[in-house]
């Protein structure tokens, strides 16, 4: 009986540890704000130029995200992770607008009934780039319409992301 309780406690601890959120990656106490987006212009294919480390992209060396319109009015989400060995892994989900009219706040789900915050924190006027995160500063992605980015673009994005209060030394840059 004692051994069974120990095993159950150990298993429960492992499950809880697996559910733990990553640390906050922002030094700033200023709350993040989502920017306005034109949803139709935001749709399409994006290349991940940089990201904060996270558990679901540990082995990705290159990733894309594709957003489209679903028949039910939600947004289709397809993330493709390419590993160093060339293998690809797809994650298919959906998103819904969660903010006010035109506000860049979405909720994304890859596993119902769980929905996560997805906030557009900044984007280019021409929608050639986008910085995406969530309100607690635990996740961050820099998305671009084309890959790779130049050294000058990388430096400019690094400064912009730092301006949002993130520790850019933790970023994983694609290529």
> Tens digit of pLDDT for each residue in 124-161?
999 999 999 999 999 999 999 998 999 999 999 999 99
* pLDDT exceeds 60 at position 8: no
Calculate the alpha carbon distances from 158 to 72, 100, 132, 163 in Å.
37, 29, 14, 9
Query: Does 7 map to a domain?
Result: no
Query: From the centroid of its chain, how far is CA 36?
Result: 18
Does residue 19 sit within a domain? Answer: no
Question: Where does 30-105 have alpha helices with state H?
Answer: 39-42
Q: With respect to residue 18, please indicate whether it lies within any of the assigned structural domains.
A: no
Q: What is the CATH number of the domain that holds 119?
A: 2.40.128.20
Q: What is the DSSP string of 88-141?
A: EEEEEEEEEE-SSTTB-EEEEEEETTEEEEEEEEEE-TTSSEEEEE-TTSS-EE
pLDDT classification of 102: cutoffs 50, 70, 90: confident
pLDDT band at 86 (very low <50, low <70, confident <90, very high): very high
Mean pLDDT of the chain: 87
Reported pTM = 0.85
Q: Please determine, for residue 5, whether its predicted confidence score (pLDDT) is greater than 80.
A: no
84 lies in some domain: yes
pLDDT band at 26 (very low <50, low <70, confident <90, very high): confident
CA atoms within 13 A of residue 11's CA, in its CB half-sphere: 6
For 94, other C-beta atoms within 10 Å of its C-beta total 18
Q: Is residue 12 part of a domain?
A: no
Q: Please state the domain count of the chain.
A: 1
**pLDDT value at position 18?**
41
Domain containing 157 equals 33-173
| Predicted pLDDT of residue 12 | 35
Residue 1, pLDDT score: 45
Domain contains 118: yes
Whether residue 52 is contained in a domain is answered as yes
Whether residue 50 lies inside any domain: the answer is: yes
């Amino acid at each position: 009986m004692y051994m069974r309780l120990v095993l159950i406690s150990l298993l429960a601890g492992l499950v809880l540890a697996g559910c733990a959120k990553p640390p906050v990656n922002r030094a700033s106490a200023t709350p993040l704000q989502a920017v306005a987006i034109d949803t139709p212009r935001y749709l399409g294919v994006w290349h991940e130029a940089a990201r904060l480390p996270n558990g679901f992209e540990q082995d990705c060396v290159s990733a894309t995200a594709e957003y489209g319109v679903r028949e039910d009015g939600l947004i289709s989400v397809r993330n493709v992770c390419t590993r160093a060995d060339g293998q690809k892994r797809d994650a298919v989900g959906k998103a819904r607008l969660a903010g006010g009219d035109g506000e860049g706040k979405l909720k994304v789900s890859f596993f119902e009934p769980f929905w996560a915050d997805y906030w557009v924190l900044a984007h280019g006027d021409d929608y050639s780039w986008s910085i995406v995160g969530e309100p607690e500063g635990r996740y961050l992605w820099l998305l671009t319409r084309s890959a790779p980015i130049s050294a000058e673009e990388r430096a400019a994005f690094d400064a912009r992301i730092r301006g949002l209060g993130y520790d850019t030394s933790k970023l994983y840059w694609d290529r």
